[in-house]
Amino acid sequence: MRKSRILLMALLSFALLAPNFAAADNKPIEQFWDQGPAVKNVGGYTGILVEDAGRITGRQSRMIGMYYEQKNGAWVQKEAFTCQTYADPKCANADNVWYDAVLDVCKTEADSNCIIGVTAIKDGKEIPGKFVVNFPEKSDFTFKGDPSVKIPDGGLPSIWTFDGITHQGGDKFLVFAEYFHPGGYEGGKTFLYPHQFNSGIFAMSVDKNPSYPDIRIRAGKADSSGKAWYANSPTMGCFVIGAHDGTTGECGLAWPLPTAVRYRLEIRTSIQLTSFMHGRLLDPTIKISTDSAGRQIFSVEGGPVSVPVLNAWVKNSDMPKGLYDYLYAMKDWGGDFLYDDKLGKGRDSVQLLQAFDQYDESAFKEYLWWLEVAKDKAVGSKSMWIARTLSAQEIWSSGTSACLSDNKSLNGIVTTNANMYISSPPVFNKEAQSLDYKVSSPHFDENGKLNVGNYNLVLSSEAARCLYGFSKAPISATVSIVSSDGTSQVATTAVTEKNGWLYLSAAGYTYSSPTVRVKLTQEAPAPVPTPTPAPTVVATPEPAPTPVEVAAPAPILKPVAAKKMTITCVKGKVVKKVTALKPVCPKGYKKK
């Protein structure tokens, strides 16, 4: 799979101070953290941790101005700087700017790109959230953006409470919402508007310990590994880093979310959320409106889901051959370095914990190899409430850019408790004449029992017609679950189309890697009967009856796969080919 182009590194000094929370029997899986392979201080080991929460809450606000140079025909990192405002020449003049912009709480009606509020819904009753405090309360890396280039301000996560709602660790809930723009450079002008929106609601408590670090970023000249900046990630069982007063540090500890409660997040933004969303929600609903200032008011609601967690380590030489060949062919790779012998032998010099950050075909293929390493068994299941938009890379790789990337509105959301899935809308299967959606998780939970799956797709009817070449006639569908061996599973499914949206759901199926198969059909317009001419009265004893044409039953038409086209796109010396139903070049590229 693709990894982030910038390496996010948990600094080794932090790990050495870490108490062994993972070994404590009374700690929930939400506080699990990986402590590396059994073999210590030896390179040539790779691990995997697939879970979403830390990939979101580890992205505190930061802005990094990145400079590149060409070596051997490729653009590589040369130098990086942290900035507290985009107006700083170190960022304004950079080749590209990496930023994570966490949304603050709205304080006045004039505030944009902020959280309006959070609501808990229990037994049909809505309980408004109460803002308590930011967490951390301060950071050296919050920043001022620039509306002219659509860079939002980078603020701080927030803690909320709900009257009468508690969890195992207390009554605090962390709300985290952020816009993200990645690094990377291929020459030419870089557009700086956000590539992705990420959000989550987490049950939490605050712990204090002198060993907990604050948020740290080290930026400067690129080192021997080609990386110009590093940032620490949450560790020691924490899922979010707090502040440090010089004596004591703060840590956010995660707890299971109450399962009988739905949660709603509402934001106000001048940077419209468009394209497509995915995440970890049960029975999601989305509402979008526009205020008098033209800003988008966006809300997403759903229940939490329990997601299996995959974690495993393997000596590189003992990897499945497909996984070994795949990883060693990567030129741009990263993760959390738990050990580095500094001998410069690439993967054979390090103990590297990989974390999946893309949900596409490439990641899915790699995940199936890791299931083999983990013997198809999870280390536990975390409760999660997460919603995010597709990244530009995920839209590009899915081949759906013609129908999704250029739209000015949100086209749908897909949510599941599968540990790994394809985040874009389902692909059209020509042979089965169906939409196939891939999901995967360990077959067994930590106790050896079967993991059970759920899946929800909400897709705008207009986007469905664009993606699959349908007419404007009503759409009907059936949903089935097909196991990896081709056999059908029994599952609870539902399909409806109302108010311009197509709703599909499936639940009660088992893993490892089933396919959710959706067959969509449309009724053709019924042919209009030919009018019967008026009979002519003839003076005969027995006039012959005039035949009347009867309309035939309307045929059921299966969707026909539209023919895909390929175009060539160029940006400077970079050439890319795009294949899709209606191919368009990505932003910054021109059609050749």
pLDDT digit string (tens) for 91-120?
999 999 999 999 999 999 999 999 999 999
The mean pLDDT value for 320-334 works out to 88
Q: Phi/psi zone of residue 16: left (φ > 0), alpha (ψ -120 to 50 degrees), beta?
A: alpha
pLDDT digit string (tens) for 451-500?
999 988 888 888 777 777 777 766 777 788 888 888 888 788 888 878 88
pLDDT at 533: 56
C-alpha to C-alpha distance for 106 and 115, rounded to whole angstroms: 5
The mean pLDDT value for 229-238 works out to 85
pLDDT digit string (tens) for 362-403?
889 999 999 999 999 999 999 999 999 887 666 666 666 667
239 Cβ partners below 8 Å, 6+ apart?
30, 31, 53, 54, 57, 202, 204, 252, 253, 254
For residue 272, which amino acid is it? Q
Residue 215 reports pLDDT greater than 70: yes
425 Cβ partners below 8 Å, 6+ apart?
276, 398, 400, 404, 412, 414, 435, 457, 459, 463, 467
C-alpha to C-alpha distance for 285 and 410, rounded to whole angstroms: 12
C-alpha to C-alpha distance for 429 and 559, rounded to whole angstroms: 10
| Range among 159-163, 213-217, 229-233, 454-458 with highest mean pLDDT value | 159-163
More confident residue, 471 or 421: 421
How is the chain split into domains, by residue range?
A: 12-388, 426-523, 563-592
C-alpha to C-alpha distance for 182 and 385, rounded to whole angstroms: 24
pLDDT at 5: 34
How many of the other CB atoms lie within 10 Å of CB of 482?
17
Residue 529 reports pLDDT greater than 70: no
N- to C-terminal Cα separation, the chain = 29
Burial of 95 (0-12, 13-18, 19+ CB in 10 A): buried
C-alpha to C-alpha distance for 281 and 266, rounded to whole angstroms: 15
Tell me which residue has tokens 């026909």. Answer: 560
pLDDT at 143: 98
pLDDT at 275: 74
pLDDT at 333: 77
Residue 578 reports pLDDT greater than 60: yes
Counting DSSP H helices and E strands in the chain, the numbers are 8, 38
The pTM (predicted TM-score) of the whole model is 0.80
Least confident of 62-76, 169-183, 309-323, 426-440: 426-440
Tell me the H-state helices in 487-588: none
More confident residue, 334 or 451: 451
pLDDT at 462: 82
pLDDT at 530: 59
Nearest to 328 by CA among 350, 309, 306: 350
Mean pLDDT over each residue of the chain, to the nearest integer:
83
The mean pLDDT value for 80-95 works out to 98
Least confident of 248-257, 413-422, 547-556: 547-556
What's the Cα-to-Cα distance from 98 to each of 6, 82, 101, 217, 454, rounded to whole Å? 9, 10, 10, 13, 35
